[in-house]
Structure 1
Amino acid sequence: MTRFETRAAFSLAGIFSLRMLGLFMIYPVFTFYAKHLDARRRSR
């Protein structure tokens, strides 16, 4: 691979890694938030 392709590949890998890290950091927060939701209420 050329230097440009290598840089592009690592840039994309970094972006996706940060996105996955963000998701795994927010999932525990969602579980605590979901416990406080009322399942009978529906938003219209």
Structure 2
Amino acid sequence: MSPAANREFADRLDSVRARQWIAVPGVTDIWGLPIQGERPRLG
């Protein structure tokens, strides 16, 4: 990726991460990783 594309991707990722505090526990992001801000419920 070009530096500009990398920067755009990083900006988009930052905005996604910034919104994650409102996430429902157990919901994952587009990579399937637990969303930060609330711990996923186990079980």
TM-score (norm 1): 0.49
Structure with the bigger RCO (C-alpha within 8 Å, sep 6+) is 2
Q: Whose helix fraction is larger, Structure 1's or Structure 2's?
A: 1
